[in-house]
Amino acid sequence: MQTENNASFARIDEAAALAREAQALYGAASSAVRSALLRGLADALERDAAQLVAIADEETSLGAARLNGELARTAFQLRGFAERVEAGIANRHVDDAAVPGAPPAGRPHLTRVQLPLGPVAMFSASNFPFAFSVLGGDTASALAAGCTVIVKPHSGHPELSRRVHALAARVLREQGLPEGVIAFVDQASREAAVHLVGHADVAAVAFTGSYQGGVALWRAANARRRPIPFYGELGSINPLVVLPQALAEGVDTPAATLAASITMGCGQFCTSPGLIVVRDDADGERFAQALAQALSAQKPHAMLTSAMRHGFEGAAAHIASQAGVRVRLAAPADDEQSAAPAPRLFETDAQTFIANAALHEEMFGPAALIVKVRDEAQTLDVLAAVEGSLTVTLWGAQADTPENRALAVAAQRIAGRVLFGGVPTGVAVCDAQQHGGPWPASTQPQTTSVGYAAIERFLRPVALQDAPQWAIAATSGMAVA
């Protein structure tokens, strides 16, 4: 094991050295160079789409339709960052002209600029083999900021990761850029992953994955002699509140919509709704029955890895074993022999949920927990018991009432994105998007890992005082052709 770790450490050291050497050139590269790279990567993904999707389907069982859509999203995202780099998103200047006299009325000439942090260690996610992997949003936003990237691929799709990195390396060669702009560490162990986070040449870390793995790496990032930013997305139960108004026209349609969201991608979405809050009344019970029936008709595909399936079964069994929990939809007796897990649905009351922290844990898979509440006050108490979440969805809160205002405030307190309709699965890539939330949803709730504001994670502000014009121009993205 020690010999294997030593070899992994050596590969990481080599990749980090390449990224550090490339940073000097790429960090000073013009907006035209960065945008051309992003567009070139998008074009290359689309040219090799058929081959890449076939490999991805073989390794993940996600299906060609889903994977083609994800590849298209990834290319769209790369081009979107290219457009914003050209528009100057990474080179914004705030300029305050000099004012004669002493402070506070007087001041020197100050120009606030943004500089790339430096090499970013990017940990690929399991559940999005294109959009959160080698050329996914973390890589795209880091490249847009002028940062080189050290990719640590996920073990759930190793061959796809190698092929996509080879594609990226080809684009770098074609554009005359050093290979260290997108370095690659193949199949590093847990110890090697910690070594990567602690490497002196790494300036920031981007991570999407499990709470346990993320916390271990977050601690490593903060235990360094010089701690670095760790941008981690760690998990979320994504409460969905069903108010009585949402069931005024019946329970079947909302139940079917929710069942499809819970089982989308076999429940392996970070925004999958895992906590359903509904009133403890006749309509609430009809909705629970309809949801159980709709879930029983869903046919999820196999999970990404056997370890993930094992983790899901353990998490579902843990919820089912808690006092005060009722099983509304159980797995059939032969479920363990099936490649795909059957959906699960559990139920408890508000007091039990609030008192038992075990019920606040994520079940990463096609399962959800219903919490029955008496009234608005209990709904607020349930949301307050949720530490942090990527999303909260409110169904039936369209009217401007004191109760709905209070609910919206409670939702915004714990979530990075609040929906007033629809389902949380599906995260648009745009300027206004926020994909992050209070701990444990993410380690830096003021940042997003989806959308074009994600670039801000990898830029550091610097104020230039009484600087000559050449010094200001050097940060404008026009310095190197």
pLDDT bin (cut points 50, 70, 90) of residue 480 is very low
Query: Dihedrals φ, ψ of 159, to 5°?
Result: -70, -40
End-to-end CA distance of the chain: 47
DSSP class of 191: H
pLDDT tens string 243-278: 999 999 999 999 999 999 999 999 999 999 999 999
Q: Give tens-digit pLDDT for 10-29.
A: 999 999 999 999 999 999 99
* pTM score of the predicted model: 0.94
Residues 286 and 388 in one domain: yes
Task: Specify if 430 maps to a domain.
Answer: no
* Average pLDDT of the segment spanning 393-408: 98
Q: In this structure, are residues 96 and 39 in contact, taking their beta carbons and an 8 Å threshold?
A: no
The 3-class secondary structure across 59-111, one letter per residue, is HHCCCHHHHHHHHHHHHHHHHHHHHHHHCCHHHCCEEECCECCCCCCCECCEE
Tell me if 428 is assigned to some domain.
no
In a domain, 435, yes or no: no
In order of 290, 372, 418, the CA distances from 243 in angstroms are 16, 11, 15
**CA 252 distance to own-chain centroid:** 31
335 and 390, same domain (yes or no): yes
Q: Which helix (H) or strand (E) holds 410?
A: helix 402-414
**Which of 480, 450, 406 minimizes the C-alpha distance to 29?**
480
Do 181 and 310 fall into the same domain?
A: no
pLDDT score at 1: 54
Task: Identify whether residues 67 and 113 lie together within a single domain.
Answer: yes
C-beta separation of 257 from 250 below 8 A: no
Same-domain check for residues 128 and 175 = yes
Query: Can you name the residues that pair with 241 across neighbouring β-strands?
Result: 277, 394
CA distance 405 to 205: 37
Are 299 and 220 contained in the same domain? Answer: no
Identify the pLDDT of residue 119: 98
Contact 372, 348 (CB under 8 A): yes
Give the pLDDT band (50/70/90) at residue 45.
very high
Whether residue 257 is found in the same domain as residue 357: yes
Give the pLDDT of residue 87: 95
Say yes or no: 126 and 140 in one domain.
yes
Same domain, 173 and 270: no
The answer to whether residue 436 sits within a structural domain is no
Rounded mean pLDDT of the chain? 95
Is 434 inside a domain boundary? Answer: no
Judgement on whether residues 210 and 73 belong to the same structural domain of the protein: yes
Print the domain residue range for 190. Answer: 2-234+442-473
Task: Give the chain's count of helices (H) and strands (E).
Answer: 15, 15
Within a domain: 291: yes
pLDDT over 90 (residue 338) = no
Domain total of the chain: 2
Q: Catalytic residue, from 70, 233, 313, 362: name it.
A: 233
In a domain, 480, yes or no: no
Share above pLDDT 70 across residues of the chain, in percent, rounded to a whole number = 98
| Percent with pLDDT over 90 in the chain | 90
d(CA 163, CA 184): 11
Q: What integer pLDDT is reported at residue 4 of this predicted model?
A: 65
What is the arithmetic mean of pLDDT over 388-395?
A: 97
User: Is pLDDT at 477 greater than 70 in this prediction?
Assistant: no
pLDDT at 144 over 60: yes
Mean pLDDT, rounded, for 444-473: 96
Q: What is the pLDDT of residue 2?
A: 65
Read off the CATH number of the domain in which 459 is found: 3.40.605.10
Contacts of 236 (CB under 8 A, 6+ apart): 270, 271, 274, 362, 388, 389, 390, 391, 437, 440, 441
Is 244 in the same domain as 227? no
For the question of residue 233 being annotated catalytic, the response is: yes
Burial class (CB in 10 A: 0-12, 13-18, 19+), 416: buried
- pLDDT tens for each residue of 359-382: 999 999 999 999 999 999 999 999
Give me the CATH number covering residue 262. 3.40.309.10
Catalytic residue among 59, 70, 147, 270: 270
pLDDT band of residue 188 (cuts 50, 70, 90) is confident
Residue 372 lies in a domain: yes
* Model pLDDT for residues 79-89, shown as the tens digit of each residue: 999 999 999 99
| pLDDT at residue 170 is higher than 90 | yes
266 carries an active-site annotation: no
pLDDT at 478: 44
Same domain, 356 and 290: yes
> Stretch 436-448: mean pLDDT, rounded?
96
